Amino acid sequence: MNNASYPYFPPIEPYRSGMLPVDDIHTLYWEESGNPQGQPVLVLHGGPGGGTSPRQRCFFDPAHYRIVLFDQRGAGKSTPLGEYRANTTQLLISDIERLRIMLDIDRWLLFGGSWGSTLALAYGEAYPARSLGFILRGIFLCTRREIDWFMNGMRWFFPEVHDEFLAAIPDDERGDLLQAYKKRLFCDDPAVYLPAARRWSRYEGSCLFLRPDPEAIDQFSSDAVSLGVGRLEAHYFLHEGFFSDDQLIREIDRIRHLPAVIVQGRYDVVCPPDTAYRLHRAWPQSKLRIVDDAGHSGYEPGLAQALVAATEAFKASGRFD
């Protein structure tokens, strides 16, 4: 492992990858890297619609872990990009099970940040017997309060960024920004939905870091990222994640017996710490790690260090003590 200033393991390439058709619309990209006989870990990307990154492989010791990444429906290299039809949390959970069975994995560690933490909890609560434990970062439970914070509350910290988010929305539609973006993101005209997706994605990308990262903002503004992020985040927000009221908290007993660590940036504006603390209070058996010099992105140094420390702790003992 590298030194403390750069906490990741060295970059690696997948030893196997492929495309998995899951229905008449969607085909999913998946890959494996690390040790083919190692401890399986499933990496769940954020968004929804954010897609995987090669850097996500570097949180894990490749000599120990069998690292599985996949792009969820409508995201990354999965096709079609930005497709919101036949795209629900329950279908994503079914996709994960299909992938697990295809790869002949009995149980795996679940690693996810932001929406990835949401999906990890949802999968674990649906399939606790297939889950070894959880490493969760930047907790998002997809409640109405959190969605309203994303659409409106982040302006308290990023007012100029929120003004850009509003810029293309007429005054008479600004009372319900989610519905205003719905009208634009889900129309059939790319001259309308592509700029809306870019604005949505750039809005999020501009708020991820404690210190702004121009490269990340540019990446979130690209068509390859923004269409998945803009359309699918709005789609899932409109349906409150396809959950019943506070479902992930109410069903925490299903996974209470499994080891879990929650890693949270103190100054996370996208997914504020209150949600992580609320999850920890409902699940006191979990370990809560607040990183005082970090925002939302798992690639910020303090968060990356804490995440690598968690994967190393689980490697050593199967716990996070």
pLDDT tens sequence across 238-289: 999 999 999 999 999 999 999 999 999 999 999 999 999 999 999 999 999 9
Q: How far apart, in whole angstroms, are the C-alpha atoms of residue 282 and residue 260? A: 13
pLDDT of the residue at 6: 57
Q: How far apart, in whole angstroms, are the C-alpha atoms of residue 96 and residue 205? A: 26
40: β partners? 66
The structure's pTM equals 0.96
Q: How far apart, in whole angstroms, are the C-alpha atoms of residue 76 and residue 165? A: 23
The CA distances from residue 311 to 51, 67, 152, 305, in Å, are: 21, 11, 35, 10
Q: Can you tell me whether residue 289 is helix, strand or coil?
A: strand
Band of pLDDT at residue 321, cut at 50, 70 and 90: confident
pLDDT of 4 > 60? The answer is: no
Buried b (16+ CB within 10 A) or exposed e, 77-109: bbbebbbbeebebebbbebbeebbeebebeebb
The percent of residues in the chain predicted with pLDDT above 90, rounded, is 92
Domains of the chain: residue spans and CATH: 16-143+242-317 (3.40.50.1820), 145-241 (no CATH)
What angle (nearest 5°) sits at the alpha carbon of residue 32, between those of residues 300 and 219?
40
Active site positions, annotated? 114, 268, 296
